[in-house]
Chain A
Amino acid sequence: MPRYASIWFPYLLAEYTARKKPQLREVPFVLAVSQRGRMLIESVNVLAMRQGIRQGMVLADCKAIFPDLQVIPSEPGQAEKLLQALAEWSIRYTPFAAVDLPDGLLLDTTGCTHLWGGERQYLESILQKLEAYGYTVQAAIADTIGAAWAMARFGQSPAVVKHQRQRDALLPLPAAALRLEAEVLARLKKLGLQRIDSFINIPSATLRRRFGPTLLLRIGQALGQEIEWAIPVKPIEPYQERLHSMEPIATSTGITIALEKLLQQLCGRFENEGMGLRYAVFKAYRIDGDIQQIEIGTGHPSRNVRHIFRLFEHKIATFQPDLGFELFVLEAPKVAPVTEEQAAIWNTSCQNDNKVAELLDRVAAKTNATVIGRYLPAAHYWPENAVKEAVPLWEKPATAWPAQWPRPVHLLSRPEVIEVTAVLPDNPPIQFRYKSKLYVVAKSDGPERIEQEWWLAEGLYRDYYCVEDESGARYWLFRSGPYVKGQTEWFLHGFFA
């Protein structure tokens, strides 16, 4: 269950400027920016606000209202820079901090607040710190980004909206709390829909027709019905380790040492985070700008340095150092958590399973991953479809193995044509010729008719016979389709043990 905190700085730039120039603290002043040939107010301090000056007004109007107003030109992009710095500062409270332009921050507080003894204490701690810097701050925590945003700006700060109660919290707030465009807000105001509870129960089709899809989207985001993303200032670090070499490395021993070092670092990180490697790329940057790489994959998430190293070992020889490598990078684009459940595959102990998994990884690295297979029963009578490959390799069989009919142990991948002599059309053969050798049938069972599965493929049914020749060797033969004189085809499909 995610929880988000929204932090609002109502006088962000003004207070920042006042921090820089303490003499401005006691006077009303504004930050103005030039836009389309006139000066617009970008930020106001508390004292100027009391004089009726608001953000977005034209400077000339403000001067008319309050002639003593101090005006400071603002630098473009300053708010963004400042918020970025504040977001990085707030990483001490959560790993996920995002900038919420133009005047707020967004924190993903999931699983963090208990460290401060609860959500209220968490918010109070943040507010206290920021207020000590001289900022006026309002903040709220809620299940959704939208609700936290609304409560921070229009609620009683610090506000904590309980789990799943965002709807109740939003109802008394003004429509502007939904982060709507000015146009939509104006239309709502014109219709007298001032508060959220006055329109939230109107059928969505009507709202869409009247106010466009953004209103519905914003309502959905605030209530948690629509997913909303934020981009953290410090992205979660990818699994990557780098090693610069002082001098170009051109020997395989050097490359080996580099790989071992990088693996140690990476696996140490895996150990801390409970992750295991599934796929890794080892890149070597040659001093002439050429980049070479080798890749490995594992069947199980693994963080065993020795094992992963052995997978790479065979491929190190493919590097062509020529003048030497100056940089080695080990990346793990695919990782998975190592869980106990995953470790217990077959009836053996989990340590043994890891050994088998490592063996299979080595085989896959040496040869080709597709050669390894484990088979599970599939619910088909047609012999070619009776088994399926286990994906992933440790998949458990969903159904029991069929045992009611005799089946050969060797099955030819393509049935081979044989010449058959049978007494009557539906009788089992009395002799057959396979690869120009004559076999005389001594005993036989059948026929067992297996129909082609028409929903998968079209074709004739097969009548299978299990026959035994005079020496005791047992074969699985079938006649394809009904008996037609001169056109009947017989095949050998398998060998019984």
Chain B
Amino acid sequence: MQPEPNKKSIASLLQAKINAMQGLGKLSQQAINPGFAPFNAAFPESTFPVGALHEFVSYEPAHAASTTGFMTALVGKIMHNGGLCLWISTERKIFPVGLTHFGIAPDRIIFITIPKQKDKLWVIEEALKCEALSVVIGEMKELSFTESRRLQLAIERSGVTGFIHRHALRFENSVACTARWKITPLPSTNKDDLPGVGYSCWNVQLLKVKNGRPDAWKITWMANRFTPSGEQSVSIPSLERYAG
């Protein structure tokens, strides 16, 4: 027997509530953003979880830059109608002028530089508790499960989106984050085979996702949009080289 349509909608509503309880983003903030289109399918309810904790890992300095670019692009999508971002890092490395390319005015970001790991965790947690912020980005090498759990709990109350960028970490321990991403650069693409460096191109790997399906995409950042380049594939960039 075919279930009644309103039963179906009740079930999906309940599922959404459960997801919210499990830290997969606030109900009210869901389904707001067309900007995350390529990634939506991998997440429960086919919605990119805003108001959740995302972890990004990188190892090479150049990969860290790609991750920064990707995170900035996500921040730009989240804050497309106003908001404020806090960027907490160990040293001053971000070049604000470079961020304009990824769809955000750098003056909407407040940078906090703190060398001490303990202070940094405190600041990130306090920032995640502050619902007036839209996004909090924290750069830290190591993050234990307990620490990540604290951050996750802060987020569940406030609904702020949290990005933790872990560069040159020792090993990928399990943390209480909604998703773990790994961004590596791909050879850039150019329209009509023009010479020179083209649009930024990334291999976006979603290594872990709560209640979702890990996936990978080849994404080109052009015209302020995540554009999937060619077919979706789970390939490793080194096999995908092309001459030029």
Contacts and interface: CB of A to CB of B under 8 A. Distances in A.
B18 interface: no
Contact of B107 (A374, A383, A466): A374
A367 B61 contact: no
Contacts of B21: none
Given A371-B114, A374-B110, A470-B241, A409 B130 contact: no
Given A355-B130, A359-B127, A406-B101, A373 B110 contact: yes
* Chain A contact residues: helix, strand, loop or mixed: mixed
B130 A442 contact: no
Nearest to B107: A397
B145 interface: no
B147 interface: no
B63 to A, nearest CB: 7
A165 B47 CA distance: 73
Interface stretch (B32-40, B48-56, B168-176, B195-203): B195-203
Nearest to B120: A367
Contacts of A411: 93-95, 98
Contacts of A496: 65, 69, 98, 197, 200
Interface stretch (B9-17, B22-30, B181-189, B207-215): B181-189
Contacts of A387: 95-97, 106
Contacts of A371: 112-114
Contact-residue bracket for chain A: 35 or more
A443 B64 contact: no
A494 interface: yes
Interface string A446-474: 00000000000000000000111111111
A127 to B, nearest CB: 57
Contacts of B231: none
Given A356-B132, A468-B187, A495-B61, A444 B95 contact: no
A497 B72 contact: yes
A359 B130 contact: yes
B60 interface: yes
Nearest to B62: A473
A367 to B, nearest CB: 5
Contacts of B184: 471-472
22 contacts: A348-B82, A356-B84, A356-B132, A359-B126, A367-B116, A371-B113, A372-B110, A373-B110, A374-B110, A397-B105, A407-B100, A411-B95, A443-B244, A444-B196, A468-B188, A473-B185, A474-B185, A474-B197, A497-B68, A497-B70, A497-B102, A497-B202
Interface of B: 60-66, 68-70, 72, 82-84, 91-102, 105-114, 116, 119, 122-123, 126-127, 130-133, 184-188, 195-198, 200-202, 221, 237-238, 241, 243-244
Interface of A: 346-348, 351-356, 359-360, 362-363, 366-367, 371-377, 383, 386-387, 390, 393, 396-397, 401-403, 406-413, 442-445, 466-475, 494-497
